[in-house]
């Protein structure tokens, strides 16, 4: 089981759970996602951030305390190469995709880190934060994004990790939200005042 932390009222979820974390801009959903990772890191769990909105350096600035624990933190950075920094090599804990729309690369890099943590490092508990689904939908079709998320959520489930996937509320039409939500075991809704409601299957 995984304890999601105090902001979720001490709710626990089973290994292999994938959750959609939805909220309007500036609602604090991203901070809540990092807080959930850190809650696990304090207990020795691995953290993996897949970000198509910030660079790895920016992630360290946003969530500095996440990196202060002994547990490893991996980042799939989909921004730095797009910003034109030239040749940049992957490291053990930071993998670089070519751009936010490079779903093939993002999927490969994410799977590599998940495997490294769960198999090579032997960590039985790992948390994955994906920020954000809305960015994927900006660059690609719903069908393509659905296929990508289906593979990634299955990978998380099969390795007994948990996944938190951020999505902007009020941006996508109801068909898109309904289709995407079918891939997830539940939805966490962050309201403008920061309160959280949960709906599980």
**Cut 0.85: pTM above it:** yes
Question: Percent of the chain scored above 90 by pLDDT?
Answer: 79
Task: Compute the average pLDDT of residues 175-199.
Answer: 87
Structural tokens at position 130: 């994906």
CATH code of the region 15-56+70-188: 3.40.50.300
Both structure tokens of 38: 């850190």
What average pLDDT does this structure show over 11-40? Answer: 92
CA distance 135 to 126: 24
| 59-117 tens-digit pLDDT | 999 999 999 999 999 999 999 988 776 678 899 999 999 999 999 999 999 999 999 99
């Amino acid at each position: 089981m995984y304890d999601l932390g105090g902001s979720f009222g001490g709710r626990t979820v089973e290994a292999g759970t994938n959750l959609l974390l939805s909220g309007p801009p500036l609602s604090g959903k991203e901070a809540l996602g990092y807080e959930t990772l850190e809650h696990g890191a304090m207990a020795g769990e691995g953290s993996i951030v897949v970000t198509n909105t910030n660079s790895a350096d920016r992630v360290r600035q946003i969530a500095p305390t996440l990196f202060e624990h002994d547990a490893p933190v991996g980042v799939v950075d989909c921004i730095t190469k797009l910003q034109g920094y030239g040749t940049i090599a992957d490291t053990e804990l930071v993998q670089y995709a070519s751009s936010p729309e490079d779903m093939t690369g993002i999927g490969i890099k994410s799977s590599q880190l998940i495997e490294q943590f769960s198999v090579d490092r032997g960590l039985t508990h790992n948390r994955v934060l994906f920020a954000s689904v809305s960015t994927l939908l900006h660059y690609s079709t719903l069908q393509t994004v659905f296929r990508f998320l289906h593979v990634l959520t299955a990978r998380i489930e099969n390795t007994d990790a948990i996944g938190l996937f951020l999505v902007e509320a009020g941006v996508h039409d109801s068909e898109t939200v309904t289709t995407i939500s079918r891939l997830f075991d539940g939805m966490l809704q962050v309201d403008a005042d920061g309160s959280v409601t949960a709906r599980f299957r």
